[in-house]
Each structure stands twice: as structure tokens, then as C-alpha cells.
Amino acid sequence: MSSLELRGVGVRYGRFTAVEGVDLVVPDGSVTGLVGGSGSGKSTVGKAVVGLAPLTAGRILVDGADQPRRPGRTAVQLVFQNPYASLDPRLSIGAAVAEALPKARRAERAAEVARLLGLVGIDPARAVQLPEALSGGQRQRVALARALAARPGVLIADEVTSALDVSVQGAVLNLLRRLQRDLGFALLFISHDLAVVRYLCDQIAVLESGRLVECGPTAEVMARPAHETTRTLLSCIPALPARTAPEAT
């Protein structure tokens, strides 16, 4: 499997600086949470890694080798936020997953598609269906299956649950965590929800105005947030008495 390393990464659109001087290492087989408010540049970092955002400074390394500047088949895959926009409405979900597979014989492809759909908990018999027949959570599973089909060493999950209802969110997160542990890819998990990040990630990186303001092991950052932005994000998590209640009563 692979590790991802960002060295002094900067992204500028014209005169607007979206990301500047970001240094971050996502070690092999671990999960790093990238958090920040809207407009903090966290999605841009993810896009820059796969070449969808123009890298104007620094280097992005996967297993020590430079990522190409333009999008193309690499060891990194990305899952988008909105499951309603990330699947081609005219392509059956089986075809969408098959597109991501390495070149192989037709029969092998069909078997592999079925295996991947099964892996994310979608009945392989539904491979012929169009995305419109699926719910939001199911679409996100298909998007995950498609990303896994490319055998990624690094997976970037960009707010993958923020378009989903709370009751569905848990299932997708459970799946992501299980797959990451089973398959061992490095995961860059982009989110604004620190409670989710806390559950999933080994390490947390906090972005503010395109700059990395805090980075460290999850437990440490949660317990002793050093930067104002981190404290603000922490204070935004709603306090649900229920979780402490059992111990209290």
C-alpha cells in the first residue's frame, strides 16, 4: 500500500490563493482527517492531489514519487461529496464500476464488478440499474466501489457523508472504516464534522484560510486543541447529553 506526502503545497486560482504552504503526511495504512470551515481550502487540497486543482507550489508525493500535475490513472482515488452528481446518470452502476477496473477480459470484469458491489453491500444483480434507481446512501456505496476498483493505495473521501441523512451516514462511515482496515489503504478523510473525524481518524489536520494551522494525533488534538480554529470547530459539535447520561445515571 501507499503513503501520501504533501510538501509546501499551494493552489492559486488567478490572484486568489486557495491553499498555501501545506505540509502533510498521510502514512501508509492510516487515516488522516482534514477539517476546516467552508472555504478553508480542504476540498481543494484533495483535488490538488488527484490533479483536479492546479498545483502552483510544492510537491505531492505518493510513495516518494511525484504525482502527475494532470488527472490520470494513479494510486490515488477520490470520492466526492454529492452522490447525486458523482455518478453518470446514463451509465449503469455496473458499467461505472467496470470503467475503473484495470484492463482485463470481459468475464473477469463482470466477476470483479460483482465482487466489488458485494463488498460495499450492493446486490450485484443491480449492476444493470441506472443511478436514479438508488438512494443517496447506496449511490455513495457505488462511488466507493468504483474508487476501490482502481485498487487505490490512497483514498481521498471529500465530505462523503454530508449530503446524507444521519441514519444513513453511520452505515457509510462503518463501511469506509471496515474497508480501510481490511484493505489497508491510506485514507485522507475531509470533513467539517469533528465528531466523525474523531471516530474515524488516527491523525487530524486543521485548515484555515488555506493554511494548515494544527496537526497531530486525534486524541491529542481533541484533548488539547492548540489553535483557535480547532477550538471553534470543537465548540460547534452539539453536546448530546445522552452519550454521557448512561455513565451519569
Which residues ranging from 36 to 55 are in contact with other proteins (CB under 8 A)? 37-39, 50-52
Shortest separation between residue 248's beta carbon and other proteins, angstroms = 9
- Interface with other proteins includes 103 (CB under 8 A)? no
How many whole angstroms separate alpha carbon 164 and alpha carbon 70?
Answer: 30
Cβ closest to other proteins, residue 1 vs residue 175: 175
User: Comparing C-alpha atoms, which of 118, 131, 34, 13 is closest to residue 78?
Assistant: 34
- Interface with other proteins includes 211 (CB under 8 A)? yes
The residue within the footprint of other proteins, chosen from 69, 115, 123, 217 (CB under 8 A), is 123
Shortest separation between residue 34's beta carbon and other proteins, angstroms = 14
How many whole angstroms separate alpha carbon 68 and alpha carbon 156?
Answer: 16
- Interface with other proteins includes 243 (CB under 8 A)? yes
- Interface with other proteins includes 209 (CB under 8 A)? yes
Window 20 to 39, contacts with other proteins (CB under 8 A): 20-23, 37-39
Residues with Cβ within 8 Å of 24's Cβ and at least 6 positions away in sequence, in order, are 4, 5, 6, 9, 32, 34, 45, 205, 212, 215
- Interface with other proteins includes 133 (CB under 8 A)? yes
- Interface with other proteins includes 146 (CB under 8 A)? yes
Window 150 to 169, contacts with other proteins (CB under 8 A): 150, 165-169
How many whole angstroms separate alpha carbon 31 and alpha carbon 160?
Answer: 15
Shortest separation between residue 159's beta carbon and other proteins, angstroms = 12
Residues β-bridged to residue 190? 34, 158
The residue within the footprint of other proteins, chosen from 60, 100, 113, 155 (CB under 8 A), is 100
Segment near other proteins (CB under 8 A); pick from 59-67, 104-112, 181-189, 229-237: 229-237
